[in-house]
Structure 1
Amino acid sequence: MLRSILTVGGWTMVSRVLGFLRDILIAAMLGAGPVADAFFLANRLPNLFRRLFGEGAFNAAFVPGFAGVLASEGPAAARRFAEEALAVMTFWLLGLTVLAEIFMPQIMGLYALGFTDEPEKFALVVELARITFPYMPLICLTALLSGVLNGLDRFAAAAAAPVIYNVVSIGFMLALPPFVPTVGHALSWGVSVSGVAQIVLLYWAVRRAGMSLRLPRPRLTPQMRLLFRRMGPGLLGSGVIQLNLAVDAFISGLLPAGTVSVIYYADRVNQLPLGVIGVAVGTALLPTLSRQVRGGEPGQAVTTLNRAIEFALLLTLPAALALVVAALPIVSVLFGRGAFTPEDAQRAAEALAAYAVGLPAFVLVKVLVPAFFARGDTKAPVWTGTLAVVVNLALNFALMGPLQHMGPPLSSSIAAWFNVVLLAWLLHRRGHLATDAELRRRVPRMLAAGLAMTAVLWMVERTVFAALGGSFGLRWVALALLVSAGLAAYGVAGQLLGGFDLRKAAQAVLRRRRAPAE
C-alpha cells in the first residue's frame, strides 16, 4: 500500500506545485478583485463535481465493484461492467450539462446569491460558469477511467492527469488574454480544454493496460442499478468536505467583496497537504481494504486502517501546526505581488490558519470513509456527513458576522472534526476500528515533535524571515529557510521521541524504487 500511496502522492505533489504556480499568476493578474471572485465562483461548480466524483462517491462505488467482478469473473466481465457504466454516465452527464447551460442564470442566482445585486458582476459569473461547466462531464468520465486503472492497481496515469489541468490553465492564462474580454475568460476556457486533454490521456492509459473500452447503448442493468444505488448516498458520505467547501463559497459570496478570493487562496494552500496526503491515502486504501474484506481477512483490514491513520497523522499534524504559525509568511511569499495587496495577504493568512485547524480531520475523513465503502456500506457515512453539513451551515451563519472571512473556513474545520468523531465511533462499535499499541504509542510522540517544530518555526519567522523578507528573491530564500528549519526540527524531534522511524521509511522508499515501474 505504501508504494501506491507514494505513487499517487508524488504525482499529486507535482500537480499541486503547478497549481501553486497557476494561483501565483492568478493572484498577480487578478488579485482579489471582482473578476477573480467571478471566476472562482464559476469554477467552483464543475470542480465540486470533480472532487465528489473523482475523489469520492463514484470511485467508492465503482472501484470495489470493478475489482470484485475482475477477481470473480475475469477481465472480459470487468470490461463489460466498465463499458455499461461508461454508457450510462455519458448519457445522463450530457443531459445534465445541457440543462445546466440553459438554466445557468437560475443556478448561479442561488449559488452566487451575493452577486445578484450587481448585474454586471452577476452576468460575468453566469458567462464564466457556462464556459467552465463542460469540464464537469469530461472530468466525471475521466474519474470512471481512473477507477478502471485503480481497480487494476495502476495509479500513476490517473494521479498524473491533474497535472494537465494546471499546465493547460497556465498556458491559456498567458496566451489567450489578448483575444478574450478578461483573464477570467482565458482561465475558464483553459478549464474546459484541460478536461478534453485529461480524458484523452486516461483513455490511452486504459487501452495500454489491456482494458480498451467502447461505448455501447446505455442500459440500466442490475449491476448498474446496484452501482448507482451505492453511488447516490456516497455523494454525501465521501463528499462532505467538498459540500462544506461549497457552503463556504455560498456564504463567502454574502460577505464583503474579495472574500471569495481570499478564501480561495487560503484553501489552495490548505489543499496541498490535503490533496497530497488525503487523496493519496484514500485512493490507495480503498482497493487494499476491499481485497482484504472480500478475502476474509478482517484482522488484517483493521491493521491496514491503523497504518493508514498513522501515516496520515505523521504528515498532517506537523503540516497543520506549520500552517497556523507561519500562515502570513507563506501567503505573502506565494501570492503577495501585483494586484494582490498586503491587506489581501493578511485576510488570506487568517483564513488559512482557520482551515489548518481542521487539516488532520479533513484527511482522516478520507481515511475512515473507505473502511465503510470497502464493506459495501455507503449509508453510514451519509448520515454522519449530513449532520456535518448541518453543523457547518449553522456555524457559518453564526460566525460570518463576528469573524467575517475566517467564519467559513473555521466552520468547515469544526464540522470535519465532528464528522471524524462520528465515523470513528461507528467503525469502533462495529469492530472495524481498534487502535493498536503502535498507533497509540506513536501519535502522542508525533504531536510532541510537531510542537517542537512549531517553536522552531516561531523563532525562525521572527529572526531570519524578518531579516531576509525584503525583496522578491530574498522572500523566497527566507521561506525556503523557514520550511527547511521546520522539516529538520520535526524530523529530529520525531526520531528522538519515537514518533516515527526514518530508517524504516527510507527502506520502504528504496524498496519501491527497486520494484518494477507501473
Structure 2
Amino acid sequence: MSIARSSLVVGLSSVVSRLLGFARDVLLAAALGAGPAADAFFAAFRIPNLLRRMLGEGGLHPAIVPALTGVPDARKRAGEILGGAGLVVLAATAVAELGAGALVLLAGPGLARHPETLALATDYTRLLLPLVASVALAAALGAVLAAWRHFAAAALSGLILNGALIAALLAPAPSGLERATWLAIAASLGGVLQLAVLALAAPRAIPGLRWRLPALHGLRAGRLLARAVAAAVTSAAIHVFVFAGAQVASFMPSGLSWLHYAERLAQLPTSLVAVLAGIVLLPEMAARAVAGDRPGLLALQNDALHLALLVACPAAAGLALLADPIAGILFERGAFGAADRAGTAAALIGLAPLVPIAAAGKVLAQTLYATGTLRPAVIATLAGFAVALGGGAVLAPAFGIGGVALAVSAGALLHGGLIALALRARGLWQGAGLTARTARIGAATALMALAVRLLEALLPASALALAFFCTAGALVYIGAVVFCGAIPGDWRRLVRKRPGARAAS
C-alpha cells in the first residue's frame, strides 16, 4: 500500500512538473521570443535540461537502488556513494566552467557562425552550471531515498526549478540585468534550493546517513558507474534524440527556439504514458519476471502497449492537425512573432509522430528493465541518436526545421524497433492480436481527425475555437473507440493489485 501511495505522488508530481514547464515556456516565448538571445539561452539550457531529465526523473535509480538493497552496511555505502558523487560533480563543474564555450558548441555547433550569440550562450552556460551540479547531486540523493522507500521529498522537490523560473519570468529583472541573464541565475538558484530541500530531508528519512569520503574502488565502483550512465541515458532516450535534432537546428536562425517550443508541446501527452509506466507497469513487470510468469509478463506488456497507443495516437493527430493554431494561440505574443509561429508549427508537425512512437518505446523498454537487461536499450538509444543527427542533417536543407523534427521522430522509431527485436530475440515478444488492436485504434483516430478537420474548416481560429476543437475531438474519439471496439477488454490487469504483492524490505 505504501508503494502505491508513493508511486501516485511521483506520478502526479511528474504531471504537475510538465504542466509547470509548459506554463514556463509560454512565458518564455513572450519574454524572449525566438531571436538570438532566445537561441543563446536555449543552447545554454539544453545540456542542463537534458541532464535534469536523464538524472532527475529516476535515471540513477536502476544503478543505485540495487547497490543499496539487502546489504548490511547500506547506510555506510549510501554515504560513500553520495560523497563520491559530490567529488565527481564538483570536479566536473570546475572543468565545465573553464570549458563552457566547448559545451555550448556541443549543444549547438551552428552557433560558431554567430560569435555574438555564442558569447551570450557561453555566459549563460557558466551561470547555469550550478544548476547542473545541484541536479546531479539531487538525483543521487533521490535514488538513495528511494532505496529506503522514501519518494515524496524527491518527487515534490522536482517542482522547485520550474516554480523558480516562472517566478523570475513574472517578476521584473533586477536593475542592470538582461532578462535571459536573470533567468539563468534564477534557474541555478532553483536547483540549489531543490538540493537543499533533499539534503535536509535525507538524514531525517534515513537516520544515521552521513556523507563520507568514497571507499568504493575497483570493479565495484566501475560497474556502478557504468550502470548509472547506461540507466540515465536509456531512461531519457527521447530527450537524447531531441538533443541530436537541436545540434542540427542550431545552424538555423531561431531553429533552437522553434524546436524547444514544439518539443514542450509534444512532451505533454508522452508524460502521461511515463506516469503509467512509473506507477503501474515496471513494478508489476518486475514482479512477474522474478516469479517466472512469462505469459503474464507478455500479456501485461501488450495490454500496456495498447493503452499507451490509445492515449498517444489521438494526441499525435491533434498536434499535427492543429499545429498552426496551437503555436499561434499559445505562444504568439510579445517577442514571439508570425515567423516564429510558422517555424514552431512546422517543428510540431514533424514531432507529432514522436508521440505514439515514444509511448510504445517507453512501454517496451520497461520489459528490458524488469528483466535486468540494459545493453540492448543502450544500443537502441545510440542508434536512434545517430539517425536523428544524420537524418536531420540530410532533411534540413529541403524541409527546414520540420525536417529536423521528422528526423527526431525517425530516430525514436528505430529505437523502438530495435527494442522490439531485442525482446523477440529473448522470447519476450508476442504480437498475436496486437496488430488488430492497433488497427482499431488507428480507425478511431482517423474518425476523430476527420471530425476535427471539418470543424476547423467551419470555424475561424481563436482560443475559444481551439478549446472547442479539442473537446469535440475528444468526444468523437471516445465514441469512435467504443464503435471500433478499441477498448481493451482486460484493462483491469493494468491497475489490479497483484495478490500477495508487498514492498521489499
Mark yes or no: TM-score above 0.5.
Answer: yes
- State the TM-score, normalizing by the size of structure 2: 0.89
| 8 Å CA contact 2:306, 2:488 repeated in 1 | no
Of residues 371, 374, 388, the one that matches 2:370 is: 374
Structure 1, unpaired ranges of 5+:
470-474, 510-518
For the structure 1 residues 290 and 226, does the alpha-carbon distance in structure 2 shift closer, same or farther, using more than 3 Å as the test? farther
Deviations 1:233-282 (A, max 9, x none): 44544443222222211111112x21111111111111111223235525
CA displacement at 1:332 relative to structure 2: 1.2
Match of 2:396 in 1: 400
| 8 Å CA contact 2:380, 2:418 repeated in 1 | yes
Could you tell me how far apart the structure 1 residues matched to 2:207 and 2:411 are?
40
For the structure 1 residues 146 and 180, does the alpha-carbon distance in structure 2 shift closer, same or farther, using more than 3 Å as the test? farther
| 8 Å CA contact 1:4, 1:284 repeated in 2 | no
Of residues 23, 36, 56, the one that matches 1:34 is: 36
Match of 2:502 in 1: none
Of residues 353, 373, 388, the one that matches 2:384 is: 388
Root-mean-square deviation over aligned CA pairs: 3.0
1:443 equivalenced with 2:438 (yes/no): yes
Could you tell me how far apart the structure 2 residues matched to 1:136 and 1:195 are?
8
1:325 equivalenced with 2:325 (yes/no): no
The residue matched to 1:229 in structure 2 has which SS?
A: helix
Match of 2:247 in 1: 250
For the structure 1 residues 9 and 494, does the alpha-carbon distance in structure 2 shift closer, same or farther, using more than 3 Å as the test? farther
The residue matched to 2:334 in structure 1 has which SS?
A: coil
| 8 Å CA contact 1:253, 1:259 repeated in 2 | yes
Could you tell me how far apart the structure 2 residues matched to 1:267 and 1:34 are?
19
1:286-297 equivalent positions in 2, closer than 5 A: 286-297=282-293
For the structure 1 residues 82 and 162, does the alpha-carbon distance in structure 2 shift closer, same or farther, using more than 3 Å as the test? same
| 8 Å CA contact 2:58, 2:143 repeated in 1 | no
Of residues 472, 476, 479, the one that matches 2:463 is: 476
1:337-348 equivalent positions in 2, closer than 5 A: 337-348=333-344
Deviations 1:149-198 (A, max 9, x none): 54555555444333222111011223351335321112111211111222
The residue matched to 2:214 in structure 1 has which SS?
A: coil
Could you tell me how far apart the structure 1 residues matched to 2:4 and 2:342 are?
38
The code of the aligned residue for 1:249 comes to A
Match of 1:515 in 2: none
Could you tell me how far apart the structure 2 residues matched to 1:176 and 1:288 are?
48
For the structure 1 residues 39 and 488, does the alpha-carbon distance in structure 2 shift closer, same or farther, using more than 3 Å as the test? same
CA displacement at 1:128 relative to structure 2: 0.4
Could you tell me how far apart the structure 2 residues matched to 1:312 and 1:418 are?
18
The residue matched to 1:343 in structure 2 has which SS?
A: helix
| 8 Å CA contact 2:307, 2:488 repeated in 1 | no
Match of 1:456 in 2: 451
Moved more, 490-499 or 234-243: 234-243
Could you tell me how far apart the structure 1 residues matched to 2:308 and 2:85 are?
32
Moved more, 54-63 or 324-333: 54-63
Of residues 354, 360, 363, the one that matches 2:350 is: 354
For the structure 1 residues 238 and 13, does the alpha-carbon distance in structure 2 shift closer, same or farther, using more than 3 Å as the test? closer
Of residues 182, 190, 196, the one that matches 1:194 is: 190
Match of 2:225 in 1: 228
CA displacement at 1:395 relative to structure 2: 0.7
Could you tell me how far apart the structure 2 residues matched to 1:340 and 1:379 are?
43
For the structure 1 residues 164 and 401, does the alpha-carbon distance in structure 2 shift closer, same or farther, using more than 3 Å as the test? same
For the structure 1 residues 148 and 110, does the alpha-carbon distance in structure 2 shift closer, same or farther, using more than 3 Å as the test? closer
CA displacement at 1:210 relative to structure 2: 4.6
Identity of aligned residues (%): 32
Of residues 299, 311, 316, the one that matches 1:315 is: 311
Match of 1:240 in 2: 237
For the structure 1 residues 362 and 431, does the alpha-carbon distance in structure 2 shift closer, same or farther, using more than 3 Å as the test? same
Could you tell me how far apart the structure 1 residues matched to 2:456 and 2:203 are?
50
Could you tell me how far apart the structure 1 residues matched to 2:201 and 2:184 are?
26
Deviations 1:207-226 (A, max 9, x none): 56556632111222564433
CA displacement at 1:32 relative to structure 2: 0.8
CA displacement at 1:77 relative to structure 2: 4.3
Moved more, 3-12 or 420-429: 3-12
